[in-house]
Amino acid sequence: AQSVSQHNHHVILSEAASLELGCNYSYGGTVNLFWYVQYPGQHLQLLLKYFSGDPLVKGIKGFEAEFIKSKFSFNLRKPSVQWSDTAEYFCAVNPLYNTDKLIFGTGTRLQVFP
């Protein structure tokens, strides 16, 4: 069955630390990939997306993600986190076989301490 795995359920960092959140998917065909963020009390917002082209994608707020097709991965990175990055981060996949649905990972809760 298609699935999306986020192995880090809860990450705690100090400000200025580097961040990498893992995302792996189990679908062999062409996919679109997304990272969404949900700040406390707010709705899901798009951080970045990959449809095609350069596998290194830059998003908002200094985030980037790298699509590695051979590893079925789309890890999210930020070189230096801020307290305001405290949020829940969701990886999502859209398998491109005539479906519009997003398949989400379980989410990673990031806490950044000053």
Partner 1 sequence: EPEVTQTPSHQVTQMGQEVILRCVPISNHLYFYWYRQILGQKVEFLVSFYNNEISEKSEIFDDQFSVERPDGSNFTLKIRSTKLEDSAMYFCASSQGQGHTDTQYFGPGTRLTVL
CB 64 within 8 A of CB 50: no
Indicate which single residue of 19, 23, 89, 94 sits in contact with partner 1 (rule: CB under 8 A): 94
**Residue 2 phi, psi (nearest 5):** -70, 140
Does 52 engage in binding with partner 1 (CB under 8 A)? no
Stretch that binds partner 1, among 30-38, 54-62, 66-74, 75-83 (CB under 8 A): 30-38
CB 114 within 8 A of CB 17: no
- Half-sphere exposure (CA, 13 Å, Cβ side) for 5? 9
For the purposes of burial, counting CB atoms within 10 Å of the CB of 108, is it exposed (0-12), middle (13-18) or buried (19 or more)?
buried
Binding mask 32-51 for partner 1 (x = CB under 8 A): x-x-x-----xxxxx--x-x
By beta-carbon proximity to partner 1, the closer residue of 54 and 100 is: 100
Indicate which single residue of 105, 108, 110, 112 sits in contact with partner 1 (rule: CB under 8 A): 105
Site for partner 1, rule CB under 8 A: 4, 32, 34, 36, 42-46, 49, 51, 90, 92, 94, 96, 99-107
